[in-house]
Amino acid sequence: MKAIAVNRFGDSPQVLDLPDPEPGPGEVLVGMRFASINPVDWVGADGGLTEFTPNRFPLILGFDGVGRIEALGAGVLRFAVGDLVHGQFWGDVLEFGTYAERLTIVERPAFGALQMVPDSVDPRLAAALPTAGMTADGALERVGCQAGQTLLILGATGGVGVLATQLAAQAGLTVIATARDDARAQVRRLGAAETIDYGTQSVDDALAASCPGGVHGVLDLVGDPDGLAVAVRHLRDGGRAVSIAYGVTDKLAAQERITAANYLLDDKPARLRRVSEWLASGRLEIPIDREVDLRQAPEAVAAARRGGARGKTLIRI
Ligand SMILES: NC(=O)c1ccc[n+]([C@@H]2O[C@H](COP(=O)([O-])OP(=O)(O)OC[C@H]3O[C@@H](n4cnc5c(N)ncnc54)[C@H](OP(=O)(O)O)[C@@H]3O)[C@@H](O)[C@H]2O)c1
């Protein structure tokens, strides 16, 4: 089978011809149809996930995707051959990722989440949703803002940002979002009441002008501690800042005027069920920034690493 993999941490991903995997006990074999790109894909390929999960080389990239079950290992109970499944295919050992024609994974992964695609969901969107959707849901829950309050989202234009913006606006929050000029119209259409072009405007000045009483929450999707420290100055007393990108330093977390914490995605199966139901009901839109073939995936990953995401990039398998 064709797959996009690295033979060593830090190598550039390349197209390889590898043997088809075979499902062991408790595993399913999935014929992949679409994968989607997330920053965690290159974190894993660079060796940044070894504290969570052991790995084997060649290491095939990709966590999110959708595919059809082609075979079952002994003892599989949750799925049948022919089922269309999606999720975050985070195996108990990192080896078989979603940028491949086939993968095997345990039916109930310890670190990921796998489920049937709801009937009315477009498989492309089922591949685009998992990590970004679950993270948007979990991070907003952690920020804990209530309807009528104001939430500042730093970095609203990428995979997590486009979904967090919609969910926050639908929950009755007033969303102020940082976004480069080319993405402002999209972020506003998805629900932001106001945007700040962090490329040309001072976020500090813009917040002082538009929100003199301060914001109730800050959701950081960027991970720049200096930028987050500026934003937190505009948090009201008792407000909460949450970073999904490790922007909260020990110094910031120690502040007592506000609460600040980094957030690592948790409770994945329940979150995947929830966000996929919202997708099925039409509540969520997933802007697809780019769609490429499997052979173009190495170039698409390199482009995604340079920044500028405007929603999700899909890989057709
Ligand atoms: N903790 C967790 O469990 C968890 C889960 C999922 C993701 N993450 C992390 O969360 C981050 C976001 O994930 P993602 O999937 O949304 O990434 P993504 O799709 O690559 O989007 C990142 C977005 O941030 C924008 N951006 C970059 N620098 C910015 C700045 N200084 N101010 C405002 N916007 C900026 C980029 O656009 P421009 O470059 O054009 O500005 C891009 O639209 C990544 O670091 C990822 O690793 C963590």
Q: For the chain, what's the residue count?
A: 317
**123 assigned to some structural domain:** yes
**18 assigned to some structural domain:** yes
CATH number for the domain spanning 182: value is 3.40.50.720
**26 CA to centre of ligand 1 in angstroms:** 34
63 and 44 within one domain:
yes
User: Mean pLDDT score of the chain, rounded to an integer?
Assistant: 98
Pocket perturbation via mutation, ligand 1, pick of 90, 157, 200 by most ligand atoms within 8 A of CB: 157
**155 CA to centre of ligand 1 in angstroms:** 6
Residues 38, 63 contacting (CB under 8 angstroms): yes
**271 assigned to some structural domain:** no
248 and 220 within one domain:
yes
Helix axes 203-210, 225-232, angle to 10 degrees: 20
Please name the helix (run of DSSP H) or strand (run of DSSP E) that holds residue 186, with its range, or none: helix 184-189
7 and 116 within one domain:
yes
* pLDDT at residue 46, as a whole number: 98
187 and 139 within one domain:
yes
**272 assigned to some structural domain:** no
142 and 118 within one domain:
no
94 and 7 within one domain:
yes
Instruction: State how far the Cα of 143 lies from the Cα of 141, in Å rounded to an integer.
Output: 6
**152 assigned to some structural domain:** yes
93 and 62 within one domain:
yes
| pTM for the full predicted model | 0.98
207 and 227 within one domain:
yes
Pocket perturbation via mutation, ligand 1, pick of 43, 153, 160 by most ligand atoms within 8 A of CB: 160
**234 CA to centre of ligand 1 in angstroms:** 21
* pLDDT at residue 7, as a whole number: 98
Segments forming the whole domain that contains residue 86 = 2-129+286-316
List, for residues 155-211, the tens digit of each pLDDT value.
Answer: 999 999 999 999 999 999 999 999 999 999 999 999 999 999 999 999 999 999 999
Confidence of residue 81 (pLDDT cuts 50, 70, 90): very high
179 and 148 within one domain:
yes
CATH number for the domain spanning 307: value is 3.90.180.10
CA 293 to chain centre: 20
* pLDDT at residue 167, as a whole number: 98
User: Average pLDDT of 301-311?
Assistant: 98
For residue 111, what are its two tokens?
């670190």
* pLDDT at residue 60, as a whole number: 98
**259 CA to centre of ligand 1 in angstroms:** 22
200 and 100 within one domain:
no
- Ligand 1: atom nearest CA of 154 is 33
232 and 115 within one domain:
no
Q: Measured from the CB, is residue 39 less than 6 Å from ligand 1?
A: yes
**276 assigned to some structural domain:** no
List, for residues 24-72, the tens digit of each pLDDT value.
Answer: 999 999 999 999 999 999 999 999 999 989 999 999 999 999 999 999 9
217 and 105 within one domain:
no
List, for residues 257-287, the tens digit of each pLDDT value.
Answer: 999 999 999 999 999 999 999 999 999 999 9
What's the number of domains the chain is made of? 2
* pLDDT at residue 188, as a whole number: 98
